């Protein structure tokens, strides 16, 4: 026993002696963007690495002695708007607001006193910087510490990001996840997807990125390369995708899928009052949440009335995540709260249905809890997520703008009473768990791979160095067309010359015969 204890101490000592200094920067003030990476920070710190994370949602676990968190939760002030109003704005206006929010958010985070001390302290060194995969000033940290860059996304990578690093992002085969389209695009959908590429390139290159480059100059100093060049110089890109809820697409060897329940944790004991509500709900429980970004309190009065009238006629207890303390005209079977422990609620045996906005993490929690859904997508990737879930038989979907009591009630009862939906959720969970290692294991292994090798330039696509006209073979096609035109022109000239020669000969022979 003493020998085993001694061996364990030796192993821990060796792990700590080879531990790296890791900086994580996840600036988006959204719980769903942060929670995916919690297990990765935790595991890296437990493996002896010194992990420093700039985050809006710290774990705050004192047992993780190797984890230092710089809390920039105050950045939420720039992300607090009505999503239902936002999605009604024109495309260009949404991107304009997005650029302003991204700039204000990045400015607020980088000028934080603790972050500034990190930047200015010449004695600080990091072996790798792990940054959320947006073109923000946070990319400057990789240049500041002259170390490899790992990109991270709590969703799939955007089409713009994939194109930047040379990964295939065909507008028809792989439309951007922000577009509410799937496979087999009709002509107008193909047109819209192609138009989206043009617009996103225009807005990113001439609006978003210049503002972020100014922040790099302001807070990091002169002489920093363009953030697009820093982005392209990445070593590994960790994307939170899985083959059930995301389309199959070709990926470069350094784009690593870590999806399939990465953020899920062990079941916690429910608060006593909530446990009692769930246990007493003998007819069953419906859990209703639109997530953290789209807030139920912003639903219009008419839509909220239809939802309340539907719940009033159901025999089930409804737990509704609602951001105000009170809700007018709520029925006795509805329990509202600003926050619920979602993962733990979905594990309760009395829960029969999850009414969700279709965020990726929410869908994974439903699948791994074997709970069917009624999806009410609002924004971003939620439309595609819900459509994919419905196509896999996980539940049904409704347009929040068109919710009517009869349709809503019918969808709820259909999903609850048809066992196929719950059985499909169970099959999906089994499928996602049938893999050689977890997403966290893959993320940690590749992070340590980058640290061991001082980067991974040998895995990047050499195509990103090519000018766009060479990448798309425009010069080759242009040369071929020139040859074709030259050949056609030569043939035309020869034919005309032959015609001019042939005419005198005809006249000569005609005269001679006469």
Q: Label residue 467 by pLDDT band (50, 70, 90).
A: confident
Strand ranges for 184-323 from DSSP E: 236-239, 255-257, 285-289, 317-321
Radius of gyration of the chain (CA): 29
Which strands form 50-55's sheet, in the order they lie side by side? Answer: 67-71, 50-55, 21-26, 128-132, 149-153, 236-239, 255-257
pLDDT at 5: 46
Q: How confident is the model at residue 15 (pLDDT cuts 50, 70, 90)?
A: very low
| Per-residue model confidence (pLDDT) at position 12 | 44
Tokens (6 digits) for 358? 């279709």
Average pLDDT along the chain:
90
- The pLDDT tens digits for 90-124 are 877 777 888 888 899 999 999 999 999 999 999 99
Which contacts of 308-315 are long-range, i.e. CB under 8 A and separated by 24 or more positions? Answer: 308/334, 309/405, 310/405, 310/408, 310/409, 310/412, 311/286, 313/405, 313/409, 314/286, 314/409, 314/412, 315/283, 315/284
> Are the C-beta atoms of 285 and 317 separated by less than 8 Å?
yes
pLDDT of residue 292: 87
In three-state secondary structure terms, 320 is strand
**The pLDDT value given to residue 506:** 57
Task: State yes or no: pLDDT of 513 exceeds 80.
Answer: no
Query: Span 134-163, mean pLDDT?
Result: 94
Closest listed residue to residue 105, CA positions, set 84, 80, 130, 83: 80
pLDDT at 257 over 50: yes
Question: What confidence score (pLDDT) does residue 277 get?
Answer: 94
φ, ψ of residue 351 to 5 degrees: the values are: -75, 125
For the cut 90, the answer to whether the pLDDT of residue 304 exceeds it is: yes
What residues contact 396, with CB distance under 8 A and at least 6 apart?
Answer: 373, 374, 375, 390, 411, 414, 415
The predicted-structure confidence for 149-174, as pLDDT tens digits, reads as follows: 999 999 999 999 999 999 998 888 88
pLDDT band of residue 9 (cuts 50, 70, 90) is: very low
Region of 61 please: left (phi>0), alpha (psi -120 to 50) or beta: beta
Distance CA 249, CA 188 (A): 22
Q: Has residue 196 got a pLDDT over 80?
A: yes
Residue 146 confidence (pLDDT): 96
In this prediction, residue 231 has a pLDDT band, given cuts at 50, 70 and 90, of very high
Task: Give the lowest-confidence range in 51-55, 78-82, 165-169, 419-423.
Answer: 78-82
């Amino acid at each position: 026993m003493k020998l085993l204890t001694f061996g364990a101490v030796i192993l821990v000592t060796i792990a700590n002696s080879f531990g790296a200094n890791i900086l994580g920067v996840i600036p988006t003030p959204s719980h769903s963007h942060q929670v995916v990476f919690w297990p990765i920070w935790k595991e890296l710190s437990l493996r002896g690495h010194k992990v420093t994370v700039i985050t809006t949602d710290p774990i705050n676990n004192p047992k993780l002695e190797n984890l230092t968190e710089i809390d920039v939760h105050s950045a939420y002030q720039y992300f607090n708007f009505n999503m239902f109003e936002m999605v009604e704005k024109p495309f260009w206006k949404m991107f304009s607001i997005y650029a302003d929010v991204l700039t204000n958010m990045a400015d607020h985070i980088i000028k934080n006193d603790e972050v500034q001390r990190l930047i200015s302290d010449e004695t600080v060194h990091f072996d790798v910087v792990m940054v959320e995969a947006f073109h923000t000033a946070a990319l400057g940290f990789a240049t500041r510490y002259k170390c490899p860059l790992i990109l991270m996304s709590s969703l799939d990578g955007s089409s713009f990001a994939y194109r930047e690093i040379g990964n295939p992002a065909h507008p028809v085969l792989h439309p951007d996840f922000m577009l509410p389209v799937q496979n087999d695009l009709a002509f107008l959908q193909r047109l819209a997807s192609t138009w989206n590429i043009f617009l996103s390139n225009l807005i990113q290159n001439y609006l978003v990125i210049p503002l972020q480059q100014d922040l790099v100059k302001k807070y990091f100093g002169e002489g920093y390369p363009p953030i697009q060049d820093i982005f392209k110089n990445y070593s590994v890109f960790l994307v939170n995708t899985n083959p059930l809820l995301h389309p199959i697409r070709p990926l470069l060897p350094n784009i690593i899928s870590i999806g399939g329940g990465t953020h899920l944790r062990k079941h916690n004991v429910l608060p006593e009052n909530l446990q009692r509500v769930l246990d007493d709900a003998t007819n069953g429980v419906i859990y209703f949440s639109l997530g953290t970004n789209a807030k139920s309190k912003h639903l219009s009065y008419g839509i909220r009335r239809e939802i309340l009238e539907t719940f009033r006629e159901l025999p089930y207890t409804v737990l509704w995540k609602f951001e105000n303390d009170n809700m007018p005209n709520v029925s006795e079977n509805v329990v509202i709260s600003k926050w619920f422990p979602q993962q733990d609620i979905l594990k309760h045996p009395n829960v029969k249905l999850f009414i969700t906005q279709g965020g990726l993490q929410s869908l994974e929690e439903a699948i791994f809890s074997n709970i069917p859904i009624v999806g009410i997508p609002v924004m971003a990737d939620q439309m595609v997520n819900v459509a994919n879930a419905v196509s896999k038989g996980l539940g049904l979907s409704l347009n929040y703008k068109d919710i009517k009591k009869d349709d809503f009630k019918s969808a709820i009862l259909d999903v609850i009473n048809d066992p196929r939906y719950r059985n499909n959720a169970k099959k999906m969970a089994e499928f996602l768990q049938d893999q050689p290692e977890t997403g966290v294991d893959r993320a940690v292994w590749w992070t340590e791979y980058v640290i061991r090798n001082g980067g991974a330039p040998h895995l990047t696509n050499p195509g990103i160095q090519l000018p766009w006209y060479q990448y798309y073979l425009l010069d080759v096609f242009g040369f071929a067309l020139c040859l074709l035109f030259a050949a056609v022109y030569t043939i035309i000239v020869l034919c005309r010359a032959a015609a001019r020669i042939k005419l005198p000969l005809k006249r000569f022979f005609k005269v001679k015969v006469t």
